[in-house]
Amino acid sequence: MTLLDFVGIYGTILAPVGAILFVDFWLSKRLGFPGFWAEKTGSSFNVVALVSWLLPVAVGGYFYKFHDVFPSYMTLPVWISAGLLYVVLAKSFLKTAQS
């Protein structure tokens, strides 16, 4: 069980990165915000990606620690929530940057 917990936690931490990359590369133009945000702004850091990764991972960690949810069950919900959060935050940052 220890190995399964480790793999589940690793997947829960890593899956949101894949969701952010997927949304940024494949869906950004279709959803109306620029892809490759940090590159286009000349920044070396993407705050939207960090927040979109950190919040779902923190919620997943909370459920693992305090509600005893098996970590492998959190991988898909964390992936989906990170992707949706990235879209929402990227669009809101775009509106803020244009104002």
Domain that holds residue 39: 2-98
| Mean pLDDT within 84-89 | 96
Query: What would the pLDDT profile of 1-57 be if each residue is shown by its tens digit?
Result: 789 999 999 999 999 999 999 999 999 999 988 888 777 778 888 899 999 999 999
| Mean pLDDT within 70-96 | 93
Using DSSP's 3-state secondary structure scheme, residue 84 falls into: helix
pLDDT band at 98, cuts 50/70/90? Answer: low
Q: Element (H or E) spanning 68, and its range?
A: none
Q: What pTM value is reported for the model?
A: 0.90
Number of domains the chain is built from: 1
Say what the pLDDT of residue 99 is.
Answer: 64
Q: How many Å apart are CA 23 and CA 49, to the nearest integer?
A: 11
Say what the pLDDT of residue 27 is.
Answer: 95
Token reading at 22:
């997927």
Task: Say which residue, 81 or 1, is predicted with more confidence.
Answer: 81
Is the Cβ–Cβ distance between 82 and 15 less than 8 Å?
A: yes
Q: In whole angstroms, how large is the CA radius of gyration of the chain? A: 15
Say what the pLDDT of residue 88 is.
Answer: 95
